[in-house]
Copies of this chain bind each other. A is one copy, B any other.
Amino acid sequence: MATSTVENYLKHMLLLSEGGEELVSMGALAEALAVVPGTVTTMVKALADSGHVEHRPRQGVRLTAEGRRVALNVLRKHRLVECFLVNVLKMDWAAVDTEAEQLEHAISDEVLDRLDALLGHPATDPHGDPIPSRQGKLDSQVYATLATCVVEKPLRIVRITDQSAEFLQFVEQNRLLPGESVRVTERNLASGLVTAKKTAGRPLALSLAAAGKILVQPTR
């Protein structure tokens, strides 16, 4: 398993090479990681030995496919943890990055998956940064949920993010299936209740947790 130091090196290489294929300089990496350049050179050579990066001496460094895979997984953990800290624990938008810096190295892939499901597979973190998919892709499309959408606005359900039979049965019985139209008439944080209403039908009470599993988009 990669140490958290290794994970940080790889993550920052990914961030510094945003999109493109360019080489990342030792200096930029040293700056980002808050270490001296000589340390980066040493570590990068070790990372090249372990197959995570390709090192072009005196030019720069680039992630290999394997290095990129690890980096995306760390970034995914980081951003999903941020979602959790803001959406569930109601922490300060500006403070969560530091927290996530620690947690990204401590959570297992198992916890990562469950966190992802709990949060309704968010496409971006609270800052709007895209969250890498489980498969390492970055989807740009973003959806709201019944727990986060604007009250009274007409919506279309696009996705159910809890695959448990229990929850899916509940969804089916209440006609909250993908494609259906719906709107949220009330949301009470104290009691944790969301009231949703279908075009023709009685109001339905859901917990915030349940509502967060139902993804929507504004009706065209």
Contact = CB atoms under 8 A, between A and B. Distances in A.
Interface string A179-220: 000000000111111000000000001111110000000000
A85 B111 contact: yes
Interface residues of A, number: 34
Contact of A193 (B90, B99, B190, B205): B205
A28 B146 CA distance: 53
A105 interface: yes
Nearest to A106: B106
B192 A209 contact: yes
A110 B88 contact: no
25 contacts: A85-B111, A88-B118, A89-B114, A91-B110, A95-B110, A99-B108, A102-B106, A102-B107, A103-B103, A106-B106, A166-B190, A169-B190, A170-B191, A190-B210, A191-B205, A191-B206, A191-B210, A192-B192, A192-B207, A192-B209, A193-B193, A193-B205, A193-B207, A207-B207, A208-B209
